[in-house]
Amino acid sequence: MTHSDPDRPPQAPSSPPASHMGARTVTIAEDRDGQRIDNFLLGYLKGAPRSLVYKLLRSGQVRLNGGRVKAERKLEAGDQVRIPPVRLEEAADRGTPARGLMEALEASIVFEDARLLAINKPAGVASHGGSGIAFGAIETLRALRPRESLELVHRLDRDTSGLLLIARKRSALTELQALMREDGGRAGGIRKRYLALLAGRMPDGVMSVDASLHVGLRQGGERHVQVNPSGKRSLSHFKVLERRGGQSYCEVRIETGRTHQIRVHARHIGHPVAGDDKYGDETANKRLRDQMGLRRMFLHASTLEFALDGGASPYLLNAPLSPELVDVLDRLA
């Protein structure tokens, strides 16, 4: 379906022009009503790393209507946000994304209209910068389109390829975030399908995995997710499309969007994602790398389906498998 809108995309929210700003109080505009304060600050303090934004919130240096505030707090129009003095890097200080990365991201665009932009994110590219990564997909797209206000709708693991959705308008971001919150955290409003190669031979039919997931931190701050009854409810459905070379090529539909959900659920049922160096089978990964040339995780976000305008404007977005994954499937045949 083709969508048109005569309005131009909104300009990015203004941020202080100087590299060092004093404390200031910002009044929240109506178009920011409902936005989480951490996301507002990340957009306002352009150049500030995510770690700094969360430190400012945890330490109480950011104040909402005179009081301390948590990162997940949603803003309301008219709120007063006090932002402490922060040194913001100028573009010249932090540089620009590498030319090759910018060209790759520009070529990865698979859909856009006045409200949304969708890319087929390459594996190895982070959704956003941080933790030693200067430029992720969103920073690179902003460098490509400096006059636009682009915001991530959701995230993909760095090693997962496929559809990554970016909002070009605040109204689209708000509506999509509301769809993601439907059913108490179940992603019923946005239907997500992935393609994955799982180790071993999965049984026929659809295997549904209803196993709660808990996100823990290892030494050094690395996230590690485990099946744990005390975690958040997580539901995935695995369907075998083909069996090739003793492996199972599957479609995976998820009803919740938890961190590392597919990877941990796949391991939980004894068929980890091929090439997954965190939750996968080391021996199987080495065999697939040496014999089939699989040098990355075989997990790809292939389809997103949702509707905006209260259901009046349906979207069905698709992103094809990358050539290196197609080659692996051909070798397995």
Q: Catalytic residue positions?
A: 157
Closest CA to 130 of 252, 221, 198: 221
Give the up-direction half-sphere exposure of residue 82: CA atoms within 13 A in the CB hemisphere. 12
C-alpha span between 133 and 141 (Å, rounded): 15
Contact 167, 142 (CB under 8 A): no
C-alpha span between 217 and 224 (Å, rounded): 6
Residue 199 makes CB contacts below 8 A (sequence gap 6+) with: 247, 248, 271, 272, 273, 274, 280, 281, 284
Q: Is 93 left (phi over 0), alpha (psi -120 to 50) or beta?
A: alpha
> Does an H or E element contain 79, and which?
none
Contact 262, 273 (CB under 8 A): yes
Local structure of residue 174 (DSSP, 8 states): H
Residues in the chain: 333
Strand 206-210 with 213-217, pairing: unpaired
C-alpha span between 229 and 227 (Å, rounded): 7
Contact 322, 208 (CB under 8 A): no
C-alpha span between 281 and 273 (Å, rounded): 8
